[in-house]
Amino acid sequence: MFKEWLNFIDRYKAASEAGFKAVESGEEIFQYSVEEIIKAKSEANVEQVVIVGYGGPRDGLAAMPSKETEFRQSFTKSLNYALALKCRKIHVCSGVMTSVDGQEVPYSSYEETYIKNLRYCSEEVRKVGLKILIEPISTIPGYFLTNTTQAIEILKKLNCDNVEMEFDFFHAQRTHGNLTKTLKENLKYIGHIQVSQVPDRGEPSSSGEINYQYIFQLLQDLGYNQWIGCEYNPQGKTEDGLKWIEDYGLEF
């Protein structure tokens, strides 16, 4: 959102002027110094609720065997930004599965590495009261973490109360659908929600497969009381497409 503002820094002010009280940021945040981001956030008077952890050129490193040292270095950078921004949740990206020296790496090696690195992250953020998010992503070829079932299995094996799932309705609908059952069964594992329409990733109110009037009522009925992120591509100007928030009885 707010990509009309080519300078990422300017999007903090744009979000605030549009009425948002909180923001989440992708990896663009690391193109700027901590001081620049703090200044933009402070001037916009918004809360930073999530940042996507620094993952380098491979969409993350957390599940990548033999990259543990590089991952820990990148996570330290992410943690420093989160602390400076008073952001309580860091999305740790798993990364894309690749061959090593021409040899295929078994799934078990990726999973073992992922759990090991997530446990390390859990221990580090526990010291400072933050939480880790993992998100199944369906649109990156070869991405390790792709669906809710897989994410829940990993969270159960990990068994760390400060590691949660970031539930993006777009990816959930694309991979398995059955959103009501999925939410009811897994809400206790969910620490953040993102919304957009399927298949074009437009505003929740745009034409598509998901009935968001029903979804938002369901979330209310289930007692979900955390942030909902607008992870969509506006069909026009960002501000012109925000009427759905009021129409669905929500607040910024």
Please give the tally of structural domains in the chain: 1
The pLDDT score that the predictor gives to residue 90 is 99
Q: Is 251 a catalytic residue?
A: no
Residue 13 forms part of a structural domain: yes
Q: Is 135 a catalytic residue?
A: yes
Residue 220 forms part of a structural domain: yes
Give the chain's residues under pLDDT 50. none
The pLDDT score that the predictor gives to residue 57 is 65
Residue 249 forms part of a structural domain: no
CATH number, residue 66: 3.20.20.150
The pLDDT score that the predictor gives to residue 103 is 80
Residue 1 forms part of a structural domain: no
Alpha-carbon distance of 82 to 206, in angstroms, equals: 33
Label residues 22-46 b or e (16+ Cβ within 10 Å = b).
ebbbebebbebeeeebbebbeebeb
Question: Which of the 8 DSSP states describes residue 184?
Answer: H
Residue 34 forms part of a structural domain: yes
Query: Which among 111, 166, 203, 231 is annotated as catalytic?
Result: 231
Q: pLDDT by residue (tens digit) across 51-92?
A: 999 987 668 999 999 999 999 999 999 999 999 999 999 999
pTM of the model: 0.96
Residue 126 forms part of a structural domain: yes
Range of the domain at 108: 8-244
Q: How far is residue 208 from each of residues 42, 211, 217, 230, 246, measured CA to CA in Å?
A: 37, 8, 18, 16, 19
Query: Which among 111, 135, 164, 203 is annotated as catalytic?
Result: 135
Q: Sort residue 49 into left (φ over 0), alpha (ψ -120 to 50) or beta.
A: alpha
Residue 14 forms part of a structural domain: yes
The pLDDT score that the predictor gives to residue 101 is 66
Residue 234 forms part of a structural domain: yes
